[in-house]
């Protein structure tokens, strides 16, 4: 196997272009959300044309022959040699873009294709943020009229797209390869990326050096970032990959490796000559290892005393921040930023860009953003929106965004003492409905295609076995790439979604794939395999108590039922875990389950209306066990007016336990249950 330390030249053989992905119909606001300004000066094509030796195949490939497992590795070697780019640099950039995956020729959320994520954003999907769709009230507070945003600030169609969204057409000009080949043939895509890197190096006046340390500014420019801070953060990540090395099998079965080069010390001083604007992180609450800017969400009064789009607070002095909620935007960068700056819309704390991991902060951690649809969770959480689409399995996320998000989450978790586990780092789809009526309208992002296993590896908290094989507790942990449950409804109701890796495992009422799916009585519908139907799914990192075993099948306690999933020993969907569980205290046949941990009525002062402690339609029956997250106070943040003088935190004597009840978390009163260590 050839790895990134090799200088060996091998012939490049491009496979037949694959059938292009089925066309995706953009929503009317497609152009509005792609606005931007050019980042890089236009390259002088005549001066930057590079050798095209790698542009043509050297040998015919039989039409039906599967690609050799080292074909992509050889493509990197050949492209590096032909365009005079160090192979370690080319491999490092590609890893940060896509982890070397080709995604079957399908585009990312920003119209990026192939292992080098060459962008052609006219193909990118766009639309309104998910906060403007569906029945969920993003604020999730009964004390105020439900807020159902309908749009956000409109944006005029752009006259041109930023350079970061048009790298594929430039690669076509530089290589002579067709845009179709660059989109669908991984080897051609690698050549296009090498040509772009070499072009950037030449424009910077730097030699096509064999030393990877000499390519820092070109790598930074490749990111397409508009400012030096974002470009530097991207380049630093690439060089971290080069220093540590990587090895993996791609989504197409290609074995690719990059040997560690711990001695590489990039010439970071080059960045001063890269022509990028300076950026300020003033006002942001971000770690220095990411690029961050302040794009404030407005706290403004409008209409008949109404206001938006968040509430002022004094966290963590008055309330603990205990959750981080992961969302996807269901829209692209510029359009989403337009929306969060509209006072009549809603808010979240941070937005992360897919192309380079750049972060915009909108709401301070001390204040309460309106994002999760559950006021108890909103009042104790920070919301992160990631540029992406739940129901588009092939609209994939870049490694740059995953890494930037993980760094931000680690920073926030350390600053606010938030445990790094799946009962504190929640998906929006793990947030419970506040009452029975709100359950069907709760959102389901980031969905089954968010890679929780990889995300927690980046957080430094991988999901490893923590108990023996016969443990009564398990952590859900399928192999993301190999785990490919069938979903429907991504593009049209009832139609199959594209086959894709998934973080989620399907649950059945018996140890048989032909058995009925587990039913969620809160939804009141027959369970389906729909991509937004959470009735019978568990997600990577979630923990459950074991209820039964049968051969290669395992049952867990889930939504008050025994739920089965396939768990073969050779490719397990779960690993043994240790932890605490709870069950109804002795003498109780069942206990109620809640979607929020509100104080008892007696805790409210006279000038604050008492909020109902409303149980959900679920119960926790005697004899069943559920994993304990932590003990939390009965707490309510009263904030229903623009004047923050009336805002206050009400804390009761009642205590609750957060539990992993179904796909979503839930709460039970501490007085109703008994807690013990799992055995």
Tens of pLDDT, residue by residue over 279-299, are 788 999 999 989 999 999 999
Q: In this predicted model, what pLDDT tens digit does every residue of 432-487 receive, in sequence order?
A: 999 999 999 999 999 999 999 999 999 999 999 999 999 999 999 999 999 999 99
Q: In this predicted model, what pLDDT tens digit does every residue of 547-590 receive, in sequence order?
A: 999 999 999 999 999 999 999 999 999 999 999 999 999 999 99
Q: In this predicted model, what pLDDT tens digit does every residue of 610-634 receive, in sequence order?
A: 999 999 999 999 999 999 999 999 9
The three-class DSSP label of residue 631 is: strand
Q: In this predicted model, what pLDDT tens digit does every residue of 645-677 receive, in sequence order?
A: 999 999 999 999 999 999 999 999 999 999 999
> What size, in residues, is the chain?
679
Structure confidence at residue 280 (pLDDT): 81
Q: Has residue 19 got a pLDDT over 60? A: no
Q: Is 612 exposed, middle or buried (0-12, 13-18, 19+ CB in 10 A)?
A: exposed
CATH 3.40.80.10 segments of the chain: 280-448
CATH 1.10.530 segments of the chain: 4-8+71-127+164-278
Q: Has residue 352 got a pLDDT over 90? A: yes
**Distance (Å, rounded) from C-alpha 134 to C-alpha 485?**
25
Mean pLDDT value across the chain: 87
Which of 301, 156, 280, 190 has the alpha carbon at shortest distance from 230? 280
Structure confidence at residue 467 (pLDDT): 96
Structure confidence at residue 30 (pLDDT): 29
Structure confidence at residue 455 (pLDDT): 97
H or E stretch at 377? helix 375-379
Q: Has residue 204 got a pLDDT over 90? A: yes
Q: Is 46 exposed, middle or buried (0-12, 13-18, 19+ CB in 10 A)?
A: exposed
Domain 280-448 -> CATH class: alpha beta
Q: Which pLDDT band holds residue 521 (cuts at 50, 70, 90)?
A: very high
Q: 240 CB contacts (<8 Å, ≥6 apart)?
A: none
Other beta carbons less than 10 A from residue 252's beta carbon: 17
**Distance (Å, rounded) from C-alpha 553 to C-alpha 150?**
45
Domain range 4-8+71-127+164-278, CATH architecture:
Orthogonal Bundle (1.10)
Residue matched to tokens 């800017």: 293
Q: Has residue 126 got a pLDDT over 80? A: no
pTM of the model: 0.86
Tell me the C-alpha to C-alpha distance, in Å, between residue 4 and each of 97, 196, 318, 542: 17, 19, 52, 37
Torsion-angle region of 196 (φ positive above 0: left; ψ -120 to 50: alpha; else: beta): alpha
Q: In this predicted model, what pLDDT tens digit does every residue of 70-94 receive, in sequence order?
A: 999 999 999 999 999 999 999 999 9
Q: In this predicted model, what pLDDT tens digit does every residue of 394-441 receive, in sequence order?
A: 667 889 999 999 999 999 999 999 999 999 999 999 999 999 999 999
The pairing of strands 118-119 and 112-113 is antiparallel
Structure confidence at residue 110 (pLDDT): 81
Q: In this predicted model, what pLDDT tens digit does every residue of 249-268 receive, in sequence order?
A: 998 999 999 999 999 999 99
Which of 338, 332, 400, 387 has the alpha carbon at shortest distance from 162? 332
- Out of 148-157, 162-171, 197-206, 225-234, least confident range: 148-157
Q: Which pLDDT band holds residue 122 (cuts at 50, 70, 90)?
A: low
Structure confidence at residue 6 (pLDDT): 37
The three-class DSSP label of residue 411 is: helix
Tell me the C-alpha to C-alpha distance, in Å, between residue 611 and each of 517, 606, 607, 638, 678: 35, 12, 12, 10, 35
**Distance (Å, rounded) from C-alpha 430 to C-alpha 666?**
9
């Amino acid at each position: 196997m050839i790895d990134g330390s090799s200088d060996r030249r091998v012939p490049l053989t491009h496979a037949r272009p694959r059938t292009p992905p089925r066309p995706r119909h953009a929503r009317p606001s497609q152009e509005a959300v792609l606005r931007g300004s050019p980042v890089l000066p236009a390259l002088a094509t005549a001066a930057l044309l590079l050798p095209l030796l790698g542009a043509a195949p050297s040998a015919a490939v039989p039409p039906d022959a599967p690609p050799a497992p080292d074909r992509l590795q050889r493509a990197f070697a050949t492209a590096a040699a032909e365009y005079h780019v160090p192979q370690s640099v080319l491999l490092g950039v590609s890893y940060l873009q896509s982890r070397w995956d080709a995604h079957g020729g399908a585009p990312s959320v920003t119209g990026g294709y192939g292992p080098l994520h060459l962008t052609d954003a006219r193909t990118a999907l766009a639309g309104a943020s998910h906060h403007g769709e569906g029945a969920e009230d993003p604020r999730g507070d009964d004390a105020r009229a439900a807020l159902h945003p309908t749009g956000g600030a409109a944006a005029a169609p752009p006259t041109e797209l930023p350079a970061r969204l048009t790298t594929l057409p430039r690669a076509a000009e530089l290589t002579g390869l067709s845009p179709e080949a660059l989109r669908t043939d991984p080897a051609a895509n690698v050549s296009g990326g090498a040509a772009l890197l070499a072009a950037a190096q030449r424009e910077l006046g730097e030699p096509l050096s064999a030393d990877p340390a000499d390519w820092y500014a070109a790598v930074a420019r490749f990111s397409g970032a508009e400012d030096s801070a974002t470009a530097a953060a991207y380049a630093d990540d690439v060089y971290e990959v080069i220093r540590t090395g990587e090895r993996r099998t791609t989504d197409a079965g290609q074995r690719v490796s990059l040997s560690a080069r711990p001695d590489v010390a990039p010439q970071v001083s080059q960045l001063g000559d890269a022509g990028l604007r300076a950026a300020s992180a003033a006002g942001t609450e971000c770690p220095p290892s990411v690029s961050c800017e302040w794009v404030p969400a407005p706290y403004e009064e409008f209409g008949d005393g109404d206001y938006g789009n968040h509430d002022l607070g004094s966290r963590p002095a008055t309330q603990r921040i205990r959750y981080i909620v992961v969302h996807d935007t269901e829209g692209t960068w510029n359009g989403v930023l337009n929306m969060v700056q509209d006072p009549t819309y809603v808010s979240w704390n941070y937005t992360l860009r897919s192309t380079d991991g750049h972060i915009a902060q909108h709401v301070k951690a001390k204040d309460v953003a309106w994002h999760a649809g559950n006021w108890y969770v909103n009042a104790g959480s920070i919301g992160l929106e990631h540029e992406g689409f739940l129901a588009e399995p092939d609209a994939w996320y870049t490694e740059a965004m995953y890494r930037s998000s993980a760094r931000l989450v680690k920073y926030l978790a350390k600053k606010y003492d938030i445990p790094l586990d799946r009962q504190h780092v929640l998906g929006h789809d793990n947030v419970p409905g506040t009452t029975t009526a709100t359950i069907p309208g709760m959102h389901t992002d980031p969905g089954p295609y968010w890679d929780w296993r990889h995300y927690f590896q980046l957080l430094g908290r991988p999901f490893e076995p923590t108990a023996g094989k016969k443990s009564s507790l398990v952590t859900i942990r399928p192999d993301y790439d190999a785990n490919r449950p069938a979903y429907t409804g991504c593009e049209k109701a009832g139609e199959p979604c594209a086959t894709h890796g998934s973080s989620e495992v399907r649950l059945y009422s018996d140890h048989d794939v032909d058995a009925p799916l587990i039913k969620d009585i809160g939804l009141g519908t027959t369970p389906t395999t729909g991509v937004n139907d959470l009735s019978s799914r568990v997600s990577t990192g979630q923990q459950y108590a074991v209820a039964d075993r049968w051969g290669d099948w395992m049952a867990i306690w889930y939504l008050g039922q025994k739920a089965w999933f396939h768990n073969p020993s050779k490719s397990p969907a779960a690993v043994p875990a240790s932890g605490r569980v709870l069950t109804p205290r002795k003498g109780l046949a069942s206990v109620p389950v809640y979607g929020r941990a509100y104080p008892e009525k007696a805790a409210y002062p006279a000038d604050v209306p008492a909020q109902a402690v409303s149980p959900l339609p679920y119960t926790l029956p005697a004899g069943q066990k559920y994993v304990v997250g932590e003990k939390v106070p009965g707490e309510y943040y009263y904030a229903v007016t623009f004047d923050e003088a009336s805002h206050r935190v009400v804390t009761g004597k009642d205590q609750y336990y957060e539990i992993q009840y179904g796909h979503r978390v839930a709460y039970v009163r501490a007085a109703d249950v008994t807690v013990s260590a799992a055995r």
